[in-house]
Structure 1
Amino acid sequence: MFWLLPLLAVCRFSVGSYALQTEEECYGGIFKLPFDKVSAMFTGKLFFTPTNPRGPRKLVMENKEVKDPRYRSSYFIVSLLDVRESDEGIFSIKRDDHTESNIFKLKVLDCSDKESRTYGERYSTSFSTRVNFLEFTPLHSLDQPRILWNRTDPQASRGGRGKVDYNVWEMMKVTQADNGYYNFRKKDNTMVSRKKLTVTEYTESYEKLVNENLRITFALEPALCTVSFTPWSEIEPILVMKAGRLMVDSHDWGTEDDLFSGRIRMLTSVVPRLGLEIDHLKVSDAGHFEVRDLNDNLALVVKLKVKESAPQLIYIVIGVGAVFVVVACWCCARRCCCCCKKSSSKRNSSVPQTAAAPAVYHDDASQPSRPNYSTPLYVPTYTYEPTRPLTAREPESISLEPPVPASGGPAAAPSVSLGSDCLSSDPELRFELKGLSFASAPPLSSDSTHCDVYTSDKLNFI
Structure 2
Amino acid sequence: MFWLLPLLAVCCFSVGSYALQTEEECYGRNFWLPSDKVFPDFNGKLFFTPTNPRGPKKLVMENRELKDPRYRASYFAISLLDVKERDEGIFSISYDDHKEFDIVKLKVLDCSDKDSRNYGAMYSCSISRRADFLEFTPLHSLDQPRILWNRTDPQASRGGRGQVDRSVWEMMKVTQADNGYYNFRKKDNTLVSRKKLTVTEYTESYERMVNEDLRITFALDPALCTVTFTPWSEMEPIEVMKAGRLIEDGYDWTTGESLFPGRIRKLASVVPTLGFEIDHLKASDSGRFEVRDQNGNLALVVKLKVKEPAPQLLYIVIGVGAIFAVVVCWCCVRRCCCKKSSSKRNNSVPQTAAAPAQYYHDDASQPSGPNYSTPPYVPTYTYEPTRPLTAREPESRSLEPLVPASGGPAAAPSVSLGSDCLSSDPEPRFELKGLSFPSAPPLSSDSTQCDVYTSDKLNFI
Report how many residues are paired. 386
Could you give the per-residue CA deviations for residues 86-130 of structure 1, whole angstroms, max 9, x where no partner exists? 111222223268643222222111111111111111111213110
Equivalent positions of 1:235-314 (< 5 A) are 235-249=235-249, 257-269=257-269, 271-314=271-314
Distance 1:41 1:154, change over 3 A: farther
CA displacement at 1:164 relative to structure 2: 2.1
Q: Which amino acid aligns with 2:308?
A: E
Tell whether the 8 Å contact from 2:19 to 2:103 is kept in structure 1 after alignment: no
Q: Which residue of 1 aligns with 2:45?
A: 45
Distance 1:361 1:121, change over 3 A: farther
Q: Which amino acid aligns with 2:116?
A: S
For 2:246 and 2:224, locate their aligned partners in 1 and report how far apart those are by CA, in whole Å. 13
Tell whether the 8 Å contact from 1:363 to 1:456 is kept in structure 2 after alignment: no
TM-score, structure 1 normalization: 0.72
3-state DSSP of counterpart to 1:457: coil
Distance 1:98 1:259, change over 3 A: closer
Tell whether the 8 Å contact from 2:226 to 2:241 is kept in structure 1 after alignment: yes
Q: Which residue of 1 aligns with 2:114?
A: 114
For 1:255 and 1:23, locate their aligned partners in 2 and report how far apart those are by CA, in whole Å. 57
For 1:82 and 1:126, locate their aligned partners in 2 and report how far apart those are by CA, in whole Å. 22
For 2:96 and 2:199, locate their aligned partners in 1 and report how far apart those are by CA, in whole Å. 53
Q: Which residue of 2 aligns with 1:172?
A: 172
After superposing the two structures, state which structure 1 stretch, 207-216 or 230-239, moved more: 207-216
Tell whether the 8 Å contact from 2:212 to 2:280 is kept in structure 1 after alignment: yes
Distance 1:214 1:435, change over 3 A: closer
Tell whether the 8 Å contact from 1:253 to 1:259 is kept in structure 2 after alignment: no
Consecutive unaligned residues of structure 1, counting only runs of 5 or more, are: 1-11, 387-420, 437-454
Equivalent positions of 1:188-199 (< 5 A) are 188-199=188-199
Q: Which amino acid aligns with 1:320?
A: V
For 1:371 and 1:460, locate their aligned partners in 2 and report how far apart those are by CA, in whole Å. 17
Q: Which amino acid aligns with 1:309?
A: P
For 2:64 and 2:124, locate their aligned partners in 1 and report how far apart those are by CA, in whole Å. 46
After superposing the two structures, state which structure 1 stretch, 28-37 or 131-140, moved more: 28-37
After superposing the two structures, state which structure 1 stretch, 136-145 or 339-348, moved more: 339-348
3-state DSSP of counterpart to 2:129: coil
For 2:107 and 2:238, locate their aligned partners in 1 and report how far apart those are by CA, in whole Å. 44
3-state DSSP of counterpart to 1:317: helix
Q: Which amino acid aligns with 2:92?
A: S
Distance 1:239 1:338, change over 3 A: same
Tell whether the 8 Å contact from 2:47 to 2:59 is kept in structure 1 after alignment: yes
Could you give the per-residue CA deviations for residues 190-235 of structure 1, whole angstroms, max 9, x where no partner exists? 1111111111111112222211222212121211111111111111
For 1:354 and 1:275, locate their aligned partners in 2 and report how far apart those are by CA, in whole Å. 98
For 1:429 and 1:177, locate their aligned partners in 2 and report how far apart those are by CA, in whole Å. 123
Tell whether the 8 Å contact from 2:293 to 2:299 is kept in structure 1 after alignment: yes
CA displacement at 1:51 relative to structure 2: 1.6
Q: Which amino acid aligns with 1:317?
A: V
For 1:243 and 1:113, locate their aligned partners in 2 and report how far apart those are by CA, in whole Å. 37
Aligned match of 1:385 in 404, 407, 427?
Answer: 407
Equivalent positions of 1:126-145 (< 5 A) are 126-145=126-145
Q: Which amino acid aligns with 2:153?
A: D
For 1:161 and 1:104, locate their aligned partners in 2 and report how far apart those are by CA, in whole Å. 40
Q: Which residue of 2 aligns with 1:442?
A: none
Could you give the per-residue CA deviations for residues 310-351 of structure 1, whole angstroms, max 9, x where no partner exists? 122222333334444445555555556655655555455426
For 1:337 and 1:148, locate their aligned partners in 2 and report how far apart those are by CA, in whole Å. 84
For 2:43 and 2:14, locate their aligned partners in 1 and report how far apart those are by CA, in whole Å. 28
Q: Which residue of 2 aligns with 1:457?
A: 450
Could you give the per-residue CA deviations for residues 409-445 of structure 1, whole angstroms, max 9, x where no partner exists? xxxxxxxxxxxx9899xxx997531289xxxxxxxxx
Equivalent positions of 1:32-431 (< 5 A) are 32-38=32-38, 41-74=41-74, 76-95=76-95, 99-249=99-249, 257-269=257-269, 271-331=271-331, 342-343=342-343, 345-347=345-347, 349-350=349-350, 362=392, 371=397, 383-385=405-407
Distance 1:107 1:256, change over 3 A: closer
Distance 1:43 1:340, change over 3 A: closer
Q: Which residue of 1 aligns with 2:24?
A: 24
Q: Which residue of 1 aligns with 2:432?
A: 432
For 2:313 and 2:268, locate their aligned partners in 1 and report how far apart those are by CA, in whole Å. 40
Could you give the per-residue CA deviations for residues 270-319 of structure 1, whole angstroms, max 9, x where no partner exists? 85221121111111111111111111011111112222201222223333
Q: Which amino acid aligns with 2:103?
A: I
Could you give the per-residue CA deviations for residues 363-421 of structure 1, whole angstroms, max 9, x where no partner exists? 59xxxx9747xxxx7987855439xxxxxxxxxxxxxxxxxxxxxxxxxxxxxxxxxx9
Distance 1:13 1:266, change over 3 A: farther
Tell whether the 8 Å contact from 1:115 to 1:197 is kept in structure 2 after alignment: yes
Q: Which amino acid aligns with 1:259?
A: L
For 1:314 and 1:123, locate their aligned partners in 2 and report how far apart those are by CA, in whole Å. 54
For 1:348 and 1:251, locate their aligned partners in 2 and report how far apart those are by CA, in whole Å. 84
Tell whether the 8 Å contact from 1:20 to 1:104 is kept in structure 2 after alignment: yes
Distance 1:307 1:98, change over 3 A: closer
